[in-house]
Amino acid sequence: MNTNDFKTRTEIIEEQSTCPEGYWVLGLDTGYSSVKGKSPNKRFAFPYYAKKVPEGRAFLREAEDSDIRYRDETGEWVVGKLAYDEVNAKEIVDSEQELTGRHRFFTDIFRVTTRTGIALGLMPNKYGSCEDKHIMIEAGLPPKYINDAVDLREALCGKHDFEVKVGAGNWIKYSIELKENDIQVMPQPLGSLVSASTNANGRQLKTAIQYWSGNVIVFDPGYGTLDTYIVKRGQVIGKGETFPEYGMHEVFARTCRDIEKEFGLSIEVPELQNCLESGEVKVIVSRRPLKTRKYSFKDILEKNCVEVCKEVIERLSSIYNYFVDYDYIIATGGTFEAWKDVFINAFKDVEDLRVIPANINNVSVSTVYSNVNGYYYYLSNMLGRSKTA
C-alpha cells in the first residue's frame, strides 16, 4: 500500500464533452475532502481547504502547477494543496464542523473553495469557452441531507466577484451572477448510477437497461459520509441512507489515535494530510540531547482502512439482508478505490450479485469523478431534451 495514494489529489485535465448549445454545464461536488468538477472542456479536483494569508505576504518559491490562490473583498487566500503545504500544520485550528460538518455552506472555507471550483470550471481552453453561454450547475448532497439543498442553493446564488490564480498564470477576474434556477441538486450516489449507465458522450448504454431493470444498491463511501441509494426495477426506493460514522475521515481518525498510542505523537486529521506523501511522522525522542526519529505509519493506516471497510460490509449486510435481493452493487468514490480489493473479495461467493465500479465505461478515469460525471451528463441530457421538446 502506498500512503501517497490516500493524499487528496490536485489536477486539472483538459477534455472535451458534449454540451447543449447555448449552455455551459458544470457538475460540481464540494466534498468534505476535495472539490471535484466537470465542465465541457475539463475535469478537475483539489483539496477542500483554504487559508487566509496575511496582507503583503511574499511567496518566495516559484509557483507550482498545483498552486491555487484566491482573493476577494475579504483578502487573499491559498487554496487546496497550497493551503496544506504552506501553512504550518500546528496553525490548522479550523473546527471539524467547518471542515466536515453538515451545515458548512456559509463558512469562509466553503465560499472560497466553491467559488474556486466554479472558476476552474469556467476557465477557457482549446476545447471551448463559457462566453455568451448560460451557466448551469448540478451539485449533489448525501441522500439523508438532500433537504439541505435549500441552504446550498442560497450559498451559491447571487453575485460573485473574485479573482483566481492557478500556478504561474495571471490573476483572472470573475463576476458571476447565479439565479436559483441555475443550480440543481441531486442525491450524490445517483450521479454514479448515471455515470455507470452512460458512455463518454453522455449517451445511455445498452447495459444500463440491466441496471435499471434489476435491483441496485449504489455504494458511495466518501470522506465524511458513506451513502447508499436503492433502485428496484427502475424505481428509486426512498431517499437512501447516509452513515456519517463511516468513510475515510474515520480511517484517518483511527490512524491518528493509533499514532499517538504507538509513538506518543498527538496529531489531528487535517495534519495527517501533510504526512501522507512520505508515510512517516517525525517524533521528538528526547529534548536534551535533542533527538528526533521518523516512524512509518503505513501499517497503521492499512490496518484501519481494512477494519473500517469490514465494519461497513457487516453493517450494510445486516441492513440489506445480506444482499440476497440485489443484482448489482455500483461502487464509487475515492474511498472505494482504497477499499476495492477487500470489498470485492467479500462478495466473490455471493451468487448473482455483481460489484460494478462506477467508472466501468471508462476505467482510465478514477471513480473519484464518477459522481460529478453523472451530475454533468444528467443535467446536460435534461437540458438537451428540453431544447428539442
Delimit the domains of the chain by residue range.
Answer: 3-190+366-386
Q: How far is CA 306 from the centre of its chain?
A: 21
C-alpha separations of 108 from 31, 74, 77, 119, 381 in Å? 15, 9, 10, 16, 33
50 contacts 113 by C-beta, under 8 angstroms: yes
CB neighbour list of residue 21: distance below 8 Å, 6 or more residues apart: 387
SS3 of 272-300: the string is HHHHCCCCEEEEEEEECCEEEEEEECHHH
Residue 240, SS3?
Answer: strand
Q: What is the pLDDT of residue 97?
A: 61
Spatial distance between the Cα atoms of 373 and 357, rounded to a whole number of angstroms: 14
Q: What is the pLDDT of residue 128?
A: 97
CB neighbour list of residue 369: distance below 8 Å, 6 or more residues apart: 36, 38, 43, 45, 359
**What is the CATH number that goes with domain 3-190+366-386?**
3.30.420.40
Residue 78, SS3?
Answer: strand
What phi and psi values does residue 73 have, to the nearest 5 degrees?
-65, -15
Q: What is the pLDDT of residue 201?
A: 78
Q: What is the pLDDT of residue 57?
A: 78
Q: How far is CA 277 from the centre of its chain?
A: 19
Q: For each successive 10 residues of the chain (389 residues), what is the average pLDDT?
A: 90 96 97 95 96 81 91 96 71 60 87 98 97 97 92 96 97 97 95 90 82 92 93 85 93 97 92 92 94 97 97 96 95 94 94 94 92 96 75
Residue 112 in grid coordinates: 472560497
208 contacts 214 by C-beta, under 8 angstroms: no
Q: What is the pLDDT of residue 199?
A: 85
Residue where the block lists cell 444498491: 217
Q: The whole model's pTM is what?
A: 0.93
Residue 75 β-bridge partners: 72
Spatial distance between the Cα atoms of 338 and 330, rounded to a whole number of angstroms: 15
